């Protein structure tokens, strides 16, 4: 993870990234678990279920670059497959791609696991 991001943003930029992850996760979970147009346990719900699981990982800030890429790909598929209302999946794909590129920020599990450690002497 340190090779992907030189620093994990803290302070106000870190809070901004946290808010972005929270917003994306809430939308992914909401649209992944509550689909008014789908029947119960239909095969069309599989991409949305993957998105909802990715939303949980984004909320925690775990494996953020990978999960952001998965969100972008899955939501683009959803936007193309369900062309009646493509705007929410397009927004979620954009959020996933930007989170994958920018990184998780200091308020994430990734920062705790892979962030720079300060050695005290």
Q: Which residues constitute the domain of residue 77?
A: 11-35+42-114
Position 5 in a domain: no
Q: Residue 113 is encoded by which pair of tokens?
A: 């696991």
pLDDT tens-place string over residues 42-70? 777 888 889 999 999 999 999 999 999 99
List pLDDT tens digits, range 70-114: 999 999 999 998 767 889 999 999 999 999 999 888 889 888 888
Residue 95: per-residue pLDDT: 95
Placement of tokens 């920062």 in the chain: 111
Q: Is the pLDDT of residue 34 over 80?
A: no
User: Is 19 a member of any domain?
Assistant: yes
- The whole-angstrom separation of Cα 104 and Cα 81 is 29
What value does the mean pLDDT of the chain take?
85
DSSP code per residue over 43-68: GGGHHHHHHHHHHHHHHHT-SHHHHH
Does residue 60 fall inside a structural domain? yes
Q: Does any domain span residue 80?
A: yes
Q: Comparing C-alpha atoms, which of 57, 75, 56 is closest to residue 66?
A: 57
The answer to the question of residue 2 being in a domain is no
What's the number of domains the chain is made of? 1
Which percentage of the chain shows pLDDT scores above 90? 50
Q: Is residue 1 part of a domain?
A: no
102, part of any domain: yes
Encoding tokens for residue 65?
């670059």
């Amino acid at each position: 993870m340190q090779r992907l991001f030189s620093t994990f943003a803290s302070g106000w930029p870190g809070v901004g990234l946290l808010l972005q992850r929270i917003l994306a996760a809430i939308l992914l979970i909401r649209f992944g678990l509550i689909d008014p147009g789908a029947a119960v346990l239909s095969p069309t719900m599989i991409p949305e279920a993957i998105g909802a699981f990715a939303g949980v990982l984004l909320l925690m800030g775990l494996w953020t670059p990978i999960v952001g890429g998965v969100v972008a790909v899955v939501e683009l598929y959803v936007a193309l497959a369900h062309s009646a209302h493509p705007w929410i999946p397009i927004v979620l794909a954009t959020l996933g791609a930007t989170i994958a590129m920018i990184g998780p920020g200091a308020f994430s599990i990734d920062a705790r696991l892979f962030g720079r450690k300060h050695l005290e002497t």
